[in-house]
Amino acid sequence: MFKQASRLLSRSVAAASSKSVTTRAFSSEVPSTIDSTFVESWKKVAPNMDPPQTPSAFMKPRPSTPSSIPTKLTVNFVLPYASELSGKEVDMVIIPATTGQMGVLPGHVPTIAELKPGIMSVHEGTDVKKYFLSSGFALLHANSVADIIAIEAVPLEHIDPSQVQKGLAEFQQKLTSATTDLEKAEAQIGVEVHSAINAALSG
Amino acid sequence: MASTAAVPFWRAAGMTYITYSNICANLVRNCLKEPHRAESLAREKVHFSLSKWADGKAQKPVLRSDAPAV
């Protein structure tokens, strides 16, 4: 019974591979990663075994880039411990890239942006939701999907201004008294992060 | 090529991106208001025991616990 199964399966694979050689299959039917020359040389060497499949045959194809710019941006905002927004459709997000605040609209050019500590705002109609991000990356894809990853993201209401002032003073003092490069770098990071939070709270 | 591109100050000081990012996250966590601060610091605690092996026997284990991950 199982000998029959492999024969039937190899028959259907052979049919698929001959199809891809003679006529172009629609890319939605056949995973475009089937390499027909490989399948044919496999058949010559091991005619009774199915050609091996690659991981990409099991993966869902990436959503293709639509020919016209979509009206909404799909945002996936993830933290190591939670998925804040997953596939949410919004009008715009403004992300705190190291090169400055960057507005992302649907149809944005594909970009990988490193984020600095700052505010990210998600605009949906008239709603604006703001988060303070500690640092991270934003991956903007051609199909208007934005993946934003950060280690910590807090709504501004959760921040305690007195702690921020204390931290800023402490790190400014550490910066002047730092000796090694590493200490200086740590103090500098402290000053930058606290100044960013201050600016976020007041701006 | 841009092999002489300006590196961020933390990389020039020998720090990796992960260390930088974790430091930033810790600083942000320390600035939160009370219930959120305790929750986030508790979330990041790690606990592990590490022992090196020599001659087929485990040496004295190094224990790290209840410290926020840095």
Cα separation, A85 vs A92, in Å, equals: 14
Beta strands in B12-69 (DSSP E): 45-50, 53-54, 57-58, 62-68
pLDDT digits (tens, 9 = 90+) for A26-65: 434 445 567 788 889 999 999 899 888 888 778 777 777 7
SS3 A174: helix
pLDDT digits (tens, 9 = 90+) for A70-117: 889 999 999 999 999 998 999 999 999 999 999 999 999 999 999 999
- Whole-model pTM above 0.80? no
Contact yes or no for A109/A138 (Cβ under 8 A) = no
Chain A residue with minimum CA distance to B32: A159
If one counts every other C-beta atom within 10 angstroms of the C-beta of residue A98, the result is 12
pLDDT digits (tens, 9 = 90+) for A179-191: 888 899 999 999 9
Structure tokens at A141: 């894809």
CB pairs under 8 A between A and B: 74
Contact B32 A184 (CB under 8 A): no
DSSP class of A62: P
